[in-house]
Amino acid sequence: MPTRTPLLAVALGAAVLLGSIASGAGGDPTRQPPASAAVLAQLQSILLNQAALQGDPTPTRTLAVAASSHAAEDLLAPGSHEGLAAVPAYLLCAKGHFNLNGGSLPPGFHATGMAPTTLCLVVLAQGLAVTRGSLRQHYPLLRTLGTVQDLNVQPVLTAAVLAELRTVLLTQAHGTGDPHPTHLRMVATTYGAALSVLAPSQGVDADTTPVFVLVASGHFRSPFELPPTAGRPRPAPRPVGTLWVIVAATGGGLLSDGGSARAPDLGQLGRVQPL
């Protein structure tokens, strides 16, 4: 019962500035101004993708700071730039539960300590290539490098977009047995992060395609009913109390849907908005 509904373009909201401290770099040409909303979206995708590869597709405290590559690398491991020229860069960090799977570590990536809870990446401003990373237990003090920006910024949706998302969810709800669902809500996230919360048994998915997760409460038929067996009556499906739908942020195509007895914790994905 896929519903294809084109969505209007989504404008990213302004980045949340968490604070800044001058680091004495003055006219250093390698210093960067704070990232634009468009660049923040790209940096978020890079960080979430690497976090998923390291075992946690829904990290928290995803922050970025613009600095020189030398300053960023020195904050992670003093003297680690090995005499290379300093260039404009971003330092990205996230909290989570990461593994030490060395096979997935890119060149220049270092793991320290056991059971790392912090992932950090140095990303060049030109080309946004990851040049260094670390898995560690302690979150670095990013504000010593400059203005800290929050990467988990929810897009600002127009009333028209919210109305179209509501229509998609209501159509799916009607098709699964409840034309009058309640508690309609949504959150913007990535496909991999959405699946990790809605269907954790599927394992970690590193897909960072931007999506909207739509959720409603009600009395729904399970979208995954078993087919009838010859010679046996078909068992009555158990109703589920929560319906969830994942649609692509661009184009509005339905990517996945399902039901669950309990409501998923959408707060793990970002700020939840009512529909």
Total number of domains in the chain: 2
The pTM of the full predicted model, rounded to 2 decimals, is 0.60
Backbone angles phi, psi at 98, to 5 degrees: -105, 160
Confidence band for 238, pLDDT divided at 50, 70 and 90: low
Residue 226: other Cβ atoms inside 10 A = 9
Task: Round to whole Å and give the CA distance between 96 and 119.
Answer: 8
Is 172 a member of any domain? yes
Provide the domain limits for residue 266: 159-274
Please tell me whether residues 232 and 265 are part of one structural domain: yes
Do 67 and 28 form a contact (C-beta atoms < 8 A)?
no
Residue among 225, 268, 221, 271 at smallest CA distance from 96: 268
**Domain end call among 119, 150, 181:** 150
Residue 236: other Cβ atoms inside 10 A = 8
**Residue 94 in this model has a pLDDT that exceeds 60:** yes
Is 10 a member of any domain? no
> Does residue 111 or residue 85 have the better pLDDT?
85
User: According to the model, what pLDDT value does residue 80 have?
Assistant: 65
Q: In 96-166, where do the E strands start and end?
A: 109-111, 118-124, 130-136, 148-150
Torsion of CA 172, 249, 207, 15, to 10 degrees: -130
Confidence band for 51, pLDDT divided at 50, 70 and 90: confident
Task: Round to whole Å and give the CA distance between 15 and 40.
Answer: 8
